[in-house]
């Protein structure tokens, strides 16, 4: 029961906040007893030179971080072949998504996302009192250009797509993305969080198309999810306007130092990426042996449809009882699926051993 004074306070909330339920207290991170394969982290340690940069940054903890992230933006510009005016740095790419929503959407506007996609976008739309339109990927996972440009999403202020896509792991040819961007007069936001595991990327499109904004993160392929570093690359006029509404000192000195070091030592991660690609294929083959249908993946995770007659949430709970955490989704068509992050060989062996144990019990009718 909400008392009268609190009710008065709550009634003063802006409408978007009223539309969202109060956040639950949440849960602590799982302890070391669990094999954590549910949030697509890269579990490997930072390379020595990157680790040293973080320790060195701690010696400057009494200073505010660099204004406007200039050094970090310059490092990203050099790494990706642009000037720093083409780059915005953020507290993860999720912060940059929030800026895009604030900059482009007024109450009543609409935004379109290729679905299934990153569910956080739904909340961002609610916060702007905007309509959230979900356009399904085609059965072949190609981009439904006509639906985006001339269908129900034709009036959307901007279009969101991830490539490779989460949670499916699939990859759309860059030529298809360029056709969409070239034919559209709206902003297209291309999220390339997992692109280091894919065969191609959209960097070359940024110079050709001023209506494209490309997002990158160091969370997935560079093992820095807890440090929170992301980038947006686009036309300097667009990037400059987004930087102008960004929070002051939005990133800390450790994130700056680690981000610059990672971008200067990307070659040090090549073995990390080879390992994940190898384990991804090994685990996919093993899951097929147990009756799962596994979608081709160009990411650091697999989306697997559980064996016929079974349910994704049931497998999620059964694996958790075995000490393994995977992800499930409420989206239509994904209720019979689980998503498995690719980790170390030992983690994946533990996962496959849990699948084997559960499958054996199911055979025995247990």
Q: Which domains are delineated in the chain? A: 31-45+270-363 (3.90.1150.10), 48-264 (3.40.640.10)
Tell me the CA distances in angstroms from 307 to 6, 311, 314, 337, 362, one per residue in order: 50, 8, 11, 9, 11
Q: Which residues, 6+ apart, have CB-to-CB distance to 24 below 8 Å?
A: none
* Helix (H) / strand (E) containing 16: helix 15-19
Count how many residues are written for the chain: 366
Residue 76 · residue 256 · CB < 8 Å: no
Q: How many CB atoms lie within 10 A of CB 271?
A: 11
Contact 219, 255 (CB under 8 A): no
332 contacts: CB under 8 Å, gap ≥ 6: none
What is the SS3 assignment for 87-114? Answer: EEEECHHHHHHHHHHHHHCCCCCEEEEE
Q: What is the pLDDT of residue 366?
A: 58
Q: What is the pLDDT of residue 9?
A: 63
Angle between helices 236-244 and 92-104 (to 10 degrees): 90
**Cβ pair 93, 191 in contact under 8 A:** yes
Q: Which residues make Cβ contacts (< 8 Å) with residue 325, sequence separation at least 6?
A: 30, 34, 35, 36, 37, 38, 319
Name every residue whose Cβ is closer than 8 Å to that of residue 333 and which is 6 or more positions away in sequence: 116
Q: So what's the pLDDT on residue 78?
A: 96
Per-residue pLDDT in tens (0 to 9) along the chain, 366 residues: 457 755 766 676 677 766 766 655 555 557 678 999 999 999 999 999 999 999 999 998 999 999 899 999 999 999 999 999 999 999 999 999 999 999 999 999 999 999 888 889 999 999 999 999 999 887 777 899 999 999 989 999 999 999 999 999 999 999 999 999 999 999 999 999 999 999 999 999 999 999 999 999 999 999 999 999 999 999 999 999 999 999 999 999 999 999 999 999 999 999 999 999 999 999 999 999 999 999 899 999 999 999 988 889 999 999 999 999 999 998 778 889 999 999 999 999 999 999 999 999 988 875
- Region for residue 223 given its phi and psi (left: phi exceeds 0; alpha: psi -120 to 50; beta: otherwise): left
Angle at 311 between CA 195 and CA 29, to 5 degrees: 60
Quote the CA–CA distance of 212 and 161 in Å, as a whole number. Answer: 11
């Amino acid at each position: 029961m909400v008392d009268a004074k609190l009710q008065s306070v709550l009634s003063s909330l802006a409408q978007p906040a009223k539309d969202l339920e109060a956040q639950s207290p949440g849960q602590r991170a799982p302890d070391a007893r669990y094999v954590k394969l549910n949030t697509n982290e890269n579990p490997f340690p930072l390379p020595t030179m990157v680790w040293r940069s973080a320790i060195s940054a701690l010696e400057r903890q009494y200073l505010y971080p660099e204004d406007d992230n200039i050094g970090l933006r310059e490092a990203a510009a050099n790494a990706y072949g642009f000037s720093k005016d083409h780059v915005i740095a953020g507290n993860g790419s999720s912060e940059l998504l929030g800026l895009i929503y604030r900059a482009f959407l007024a109450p009543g506007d609409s935004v379109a996302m290729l679905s299934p996609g990153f569910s956080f976008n739904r909340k961002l739309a609610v916060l702007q009192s905007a309509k959230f339109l979900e356009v399904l990927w085609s059965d072949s996972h190609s981009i439904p250009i006509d639906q985006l440009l001339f269908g129900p999403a034709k009036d959307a202020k901007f279009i969101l797509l991830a490539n490779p896509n989460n949670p499916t792991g699939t990859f759309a040819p860059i030529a298809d993305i360029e056709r969409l961007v070239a034919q559209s007069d709206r902003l297209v936001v291309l999220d390339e969080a997992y692109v280091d595991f894919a065969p191609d990327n959209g960097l070359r499109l940024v110079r050709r198309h001023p209506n494209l904004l490309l997002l990158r993160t160091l969370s997935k392929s560079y093992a820095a999810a807890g440090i929170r570093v992301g980038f947006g690359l686009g036309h300097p006029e667009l990037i400059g306007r987004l930087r102008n509404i960004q929070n002051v000192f939005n990133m800390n000195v450790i994130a700056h130092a680690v981000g610059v070091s990672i971008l200067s030592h990307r070659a040090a991660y090549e073995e990390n990426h080879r390992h994940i690609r190898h384990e991804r294929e090994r685990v996919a083959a093993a899951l097929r042996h147990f009756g799962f249908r596994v979608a081709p993946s160009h990411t650091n995770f697999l989306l697997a449809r559980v064996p016929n007659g079974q349910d994704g949430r049931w497998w999620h709970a059964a694996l958790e009882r075995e000490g393994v955490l995977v992800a499930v989704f409420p989206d239509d068509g994904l209720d019979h699926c689980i998503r498995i992050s690719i980790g170390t060989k030992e983690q994946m062996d533990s996962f496959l051993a849990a699948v084997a144990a559960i499958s054996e019990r199911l055979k025995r009718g247990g």
